């Protein structure tokens, strides 16, 4: 998947489609040309090559504004806006587990912490603040992904002969994973909400970047050695953002 890339501010005269979904411009070292991606819940991202000129990007966005609006409207029909609510249950197909969530307010608390007991996740503290609750839930997701995914990644590394040095867990809004030139693989904790098959494919994909830091024919040939069904899985992975619960804040 795309490597971690530098997020750059919106150009001053770039109009956001709406304040809820957001509109961002991301500079990528791998991008060869400007591209636009619209996410299922309406978020719009413009990916630009390094050293792109603001005027050029603005012109590209203006040229494709009708397409952006039409795509967002289509997604709005397929995925109507969901009201925000904190979860009482969290399903994590990626590790084949389900957790109940309880909230215990504590007077005077300024933070929200979590405690896991079996399959019950308890959030305690200032649980009347939904932002603090979401932050605690994300910390738990990150720790859970780290504990379950790193052993899998190392096992796949050993079995495929594709090496990496470190694994980081992140909550990227635009990619499922990345492999840096320094040998660090970043895994998105949102993979917890996807199927084990997609988790495995993403890991194979990123591990194969140890041999080819691009998406050339040689790279995909290398991926095919370990996952013959990579084309179908790649398409399915690209369409899986809509499976992430609204409270996670990924659009």
Distance CA 123, CA 102 (A): 6
| CB burial readout 170-203, b (16+ within 10 A) else e | bebbbbbbbbbeeeebbbbbbbbbbbebbbbbbb
Residue 94 lies in a domain: yes
Q: Please tell me whether residues 178 and 237 are part of one structural domain.
A: yes
pLDDT, tens digit (0-9, with 9 covering 90-100), for 127-138? 999 999 999 999
Residue 84 lies in a domain: no
Q: Please tell me whether residues 99 and 202 are part of one structural domain.
A: yes
DSSP letters of 1-47? -PPP-EEEPPPTTPPPS-TTT-EEEEEESS-SS-EEEE-TTS-EEEE
Q: How many domains does the chain have?
A: 2
* Confidence at 3, pLDDT banded by 50, 70, 90: very low
Which has more confidence, 47 or 2? 47
| pLDDT of 31 | 82
Model-level pTM?
Answer: 0.75
Boundary of a domain, candidates 50, 78, 106: 78
Residue 64 lies in a domain: yes
Boundary of a domain, candidates 51, 78, 105: 78
Q: Please tell me whether residues 190 and 99 are part of one structural domain.
A: yes
* Confidence at 81, pLDDT banded by 50, 70, 90: low
pLDDT, tens digit (0-9, with 9 covering 90-100), for 136-157? 999 999 999 999 999 999 999 9
Lowest mean pLDDT among 33-47, 133-147, 184-198, 215-229: 33-47
Contact between 46 and 61 (Cβ < 8 Å)? yes
Q: Please tell me whether residues 15 and 71 are part of one structural domain.
A: yes
* Confidence at 22, pLDDT banded by 50, 70, 90: low
Give the angle subtended at the CA of 205 by the CAs of 203 and 208, to the nearest 5°: 105
Q: Please tell me whether residues 48 and 101 are part of one structural domain.
A: no
* Confidence at 175, pLDDT banded by 50, 70, 90: confident
* Confidence at 120, pLDDT banded by 50, 70, 90: very high
Q: Please tell me whether residues 134 and 231 are part of one structural domain.
A: yes
Q: Please tell me whether residues 102 and 149 are part of one structural domain.
A: yes
Q: Which CATH number fits the domain that encloses residue 149?
A: 3.30.2010.10
Q: Please tell me whether residues 46 and 112 are part of one structural domain.
A: no
Q: Please tell me whether residues 74 and 185 are part of one structural domain.
A: no
Residue 83 lies in a domain: no
Q: Please tell me whether residues 190 and 151 are part of one structural domain.
A: yes
Boundary of a domain, candidates 56, 78, 100: 78
Residue 183 lies in a domain: yes
Residue 1 lies in a domain: no
**What residues make up the domain containing 74?**
6-78
| pLDDT of 13 | 38
Distance CA 81, CA 102 (A): 25
Q: Please tell me whether residues 70 and 163 are part of one structural domain.
A: no
Q: Please tell me whether residues 25 and 123 are part of one structural domain.
A: no
């Amino acid at each position: 998947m795309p490597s971690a890339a530098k997020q750059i501010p919106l150009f001053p005269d770039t109009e956001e489609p709406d304040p809820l979904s957001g509109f961002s411009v991301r500079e990528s070292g791998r991008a060869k040309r400007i591209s636009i991606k619209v996410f299922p819940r309406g978020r719009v991202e413009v990916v630009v090559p390094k050293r792109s000129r603001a005027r050029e990007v603005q012109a590209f966005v203006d040229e494709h504004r009708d397409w952006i609006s039409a795509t967002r409207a289509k997604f709005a029909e397929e995925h109507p806006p969901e009201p925000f609510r904190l979860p009482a249950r969290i399903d994590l197909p990626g590790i084949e587990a389900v957790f109940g969530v309880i909230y215990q307010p504590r007077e005077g608390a300024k933070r929200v912490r979590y405690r896991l007991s079996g399959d019950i996740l308890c959030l305690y503290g200032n649980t009347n603040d939904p932002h603090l609750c979401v932050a605690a839930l994300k910390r738990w997701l990150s720790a859970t992904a780290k504990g379950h995914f790193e052993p899998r990644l190392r096992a796949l590394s050993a079995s495929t002969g594709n090496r990496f040095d470190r694994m980081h867990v992140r909550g990227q809004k635009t990619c499922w994973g990345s492999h840096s030139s320094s040998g660090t693989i970043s895994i998105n904790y949102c993979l917890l909400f996807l199927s084990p098959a997609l988790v495995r494919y993403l890991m194979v994909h990123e591990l194969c970047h140890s041999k080819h830091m691009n998406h050339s024919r040689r790279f995909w040939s290398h991926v095919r050695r370990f996952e013959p069904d990579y084309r179908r899985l790649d398409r399915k992975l690209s369409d899986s953002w809509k499976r992430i619960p609204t409270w996670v804040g990924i659009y």
